[in-house]
Structure 1
Amino acid sequence: MKTSLIVICGATATGKSGLALELAQRLNTMIISADSRQVYREFDIGTAKPSLTEQQLVPHYLINICDPIETLTLAQYQEKAQFLINELTITPLLVGGTGLYIKSIVKGLKIPRVAPQPELKQQLQGLGQRQCYDILSQIDVIATNKIHPNDEVRTLRALEVFYVTGIPISQQQGENPPPYPILQIGLDCSAEDLEKRIEQRTEKMIEMGLVKEVENIINKYGWKLPLLDTLGYSEIKLYLRDKTSLEQAKKEIILHTRQFAKRQRTWFRGDTDIEWFDAKSLNLVEQIWQRIQEFFAYYKHLD
């Protein structure tokens, strides 16, 4: 078949990585990560990054491509992933829970190629969110219809894009879906089952050495590294600063992961192209394998 893509998505702890590993071996293909934190080196246990053994079983791409002090933009991720997909003669698996990463590929999001502008951003922040939003409403009313008045991040980004390019961000956005066929597989389970999975996963991360991983990162990059304020790392950072117990830190990780998973489920449910499977199904791999064979057969017939 010509270029095509299989997506494995869903909330955290639903078993995407294990399923992808099994399917990739059957297909003799590679896995492209769609995880916004696995791109960073040294953030391994807390991001559930594939182990070295798993990476030896199946080639994994777009993991460990940035240092923790660097920032990978959505546009940069999209460019790297699209290049891989278009260059391959096999069908890769795009696997992860970062909805915007996946959407940037399957919908072909048009993303303004404007690098972050630290000095400009600092100047704008000095004006305050209300004034920045007022400025944006004068230059790009379409953008303000989509951006909440309190959303500082998106307001500043829209102003950055306008001041660098002279073109409103709303005129630079949109979708340009890729021409190749895409099969999107979603994994889900009941809230009760997902909570159990999250609890088990958190316990496993602690056993694998999450505390030591965070400690090493702090020793190397300092307490203020932005990535340390993300899920799993911020809670352990508080523990290392003697502001909570390890047991309480674990409870906070579980709670925050549950909240994150809920947001992920809401995001992915908004895409009607995703075909959902029960993560607890005893013959899950065979069900999805059959669906993949149908996908290949259908598009081969069209060719």
Structure 2
Amino acid sequence: MQPSLIVICGATATGKSRLAMTLAQHLNTVILSADSRQVYREFDIGTAKPTWEEQALIPHYLIDICDPTETLTVAEYQEKANHLISSLPHSPPLLVGGTGLYIKAITRGLKIPRVSPHPQLRSSLKRLGQLQLYALLQQVDPNSATKIHPNDQVRTLRALEVFYITGKPISEQQGENPPSYPILQVGLDCSPEVLTERIQYRTEQMLALGFVEEVKGLIKKYGWSLPLLDTLGYQEIKDYLAGETDLKTAKELMVIHTRQFAKRQRTWFKGQSEIKWFDSEQSDLWEAVSKMINIEIERFQK
């Protein structure tokens, strides 16, 4: 046996894509994106989506598979990724990104209720207020209520939504069914100081590549209320275009918010014991990762 999947994960701006490109060329394989915004068409610069040149060099999957007005659920992503992993002739494919829930859905085989968002139901429930919503959850699904913070409206609404659509508590429909094939997980990390410098550089590069024009075009085509425009990077530039701030402030806020997001990513991934960590600043990064992969392949073959 040999690994059927290699994961490259970590916080934003730690060099995952660069390492993945080198590794994919070495292994003659493909890259599966594990980024919850790269799945959407036209959201390119702000999501650090691979360029056309990079996509021509190495086939990339699970990017540009949805229109910005659509919503791709984790369950739908899991289904698409699992199909690719089992059907692509390239082995092992590389699952690359920083969306921890996407990666966990694949590597742990999360059982996810196949219930699409129902905006009308959510809107009706929201009118009750979070205090009453949580009390309702405690009645219909006490197991979920013990795991959801009383102020977490997003998860409370989702749990109630699943209950009212399926008639079963979400806690009875969740769990894990890990895949039977071997998986290697590589994590990239660096010091907070270095990460801040990388985030600052990436922000400058995004603006130089025309990020403001990208957001302008998206607003013109889809309107100011498109939910994706309220996500990291796009929100700050949207506020600038609305005249609520200047570009210098917008850029500073992008750096601050990205740094905060990266901190949350690091916390998430550090809780995954199966990840083998590497310092993205080490000079022999490629050699170290390649050596580890070869050792693991030999171990699987014994």
Q: Which amino acid counterpart does residue 65 of structure 1 have in structure 2?
A: I
In structure 1, the partner of 2:26 is 26
In structure 1, the partner of 2:46 is 46
Q: How does 1:258-277 map to 2 (within 5 A)?
A: 258-277=259-278
- Residues 197-236 of structure 1: CA distance to partner in whole angstroms, max 9, x if unpaired? 0000000000000000000000000011000011110000
Q: How does 1:136-147 map to 2 (within 5 A)?
A: 136-147=137-148
In structure 2, the partner of 1:113 is 114
In structure 1, the partner of 2:79 is 79
- Residues 103-133 of structure 1: CA distance to partner in whole angstroms, max 9, x if unpaired? 0010110000111122211211121111111
Q: Which amino acid counterpart does residue 47 of structure 1 have in structure 2?
A: T
- Match of 1:46, SS state, is helix
In structure 2, the partner of 1:284 is 285
CA distance, structure 1, for counterparts of residue 211 and residue 202 of structure 2: 12
Q: How far off its partner does 1:60 sit?
A: 0.3
Judge conservation of contact 1:4–1:182 (CA < 8 Å) in 2: yes
- Match of 1:127, SS state, is coil
Q: Which amino acid counterpart does residue 75 of structure 2 have in structure 1?
A: A
Q: How does 1:286-301 map to 2 (within 5 A)?
A: 286-301=287-302
Aligned length: 301
CA distance, structure 2, for counterparts of residue 159 and residue 238 of structure 1: 33
Instruction: Give TM-score, length-normalised by structure 1.
Output: 0.98
Q: How does 1:199-238 map to 2 (within 5 A)?
A: 199-238=200-239
Q: Which amino acid counterpart does residue 293 of structure 2 have in structure 1?
A: I
In structure 2, the partner of 1:161 is 162
Judge conservation of contact 1:3–1:85 (CA < 8 Å) in 2: no
Q: How far off its partner does 1:194 sit?
A: 0.4
Q: How far off its partner does 1:25 sit?
A: 0.5
- Residues 269-293 of structure 1: CA distance to partner in whole angstroms, max 9, x if unpaired? 0001100000001110111011111
In structure 1, the partner of 2:105 is 104
Judge conservation of contact 2:3–2:297 (CA < 8 Å) in 1: no
In structure 2, the partner of 1:148 is 149
In structure 1, the partner of 2:199 is 198
- Match of 1:185, SS state, is strand
- Match of 1:264, SS state, is helix
Q: Which amino acid counterpart does residue 207 of structure 2 have in structure 1?
A: I
Instruction: Give TM-score, length-normalised by structure 2.
Output: 0.98
Judge conservation of contact 1:136–1:144 (CA < 8 Å) in 2: yes
The change in CA–CA distance for 1:226 and 1:52 in structure 2 (over 3 A counts) is same
CA distance, structure 2, for counterparts of residue 115 and residue 248 of structure 1: 37
CA distance, structure 1, for counterparts of residue 243 and residue 35 of structure 2: 30
Overall identity of the aligned pairs, in %: 64
CA distance, structure 2, for counterparts of residue 13 and residue 3 of structure 1: 26
CA distance, structure 2, for counterparts of residue 81 and residue 11 of structure 1: 21
In structure 2, the partner of 1:251 is 252
CA distance, structure 2, for counterparts of residue 4 and residue 142 of structure 1: 35
Q: Which amino acid counterpart does residue 75 of structure 1 have in structure 2?
A: A
Judge conservation of contact 1:142–1:170 (CA < 8 Å) in 2: yes
Unaligned runs of 5+ in 1: none
Judge conservation of contact 2:2–2:300 (CA < 8 Å) in 1: no
Q: How far off its partner does 1:245 sit?
A: 1.1
The change in CA–CA distance for 1:291 and 1:2 in structure 2 (over 3 A counts) is closer
List, as ranges, runs of 4+ consecutive aligned residues in structure 1 with deviation greater than 2 Å: none
CA distance, structure 2, for counterparts of residue 126 and residue 258 of structure 1: 34
Judge conservation of contact 1:114–1:164 (CA < 8 Å) in 2: yes
CA distance, structure 1, for counterparts of residue 240 and residue 220 of structure 2: 15
Judge conservation of contact 2:3–2:183 (CA < 8 Å) in 1: no
Q: How far off its partner does 1:7 sit?
A: 0.3
Q: How far off its partner does 1:88 sit?
A: 2.9
Judge conservation of contact 2:2–2:297 (CA < 8 Å) in 1: no
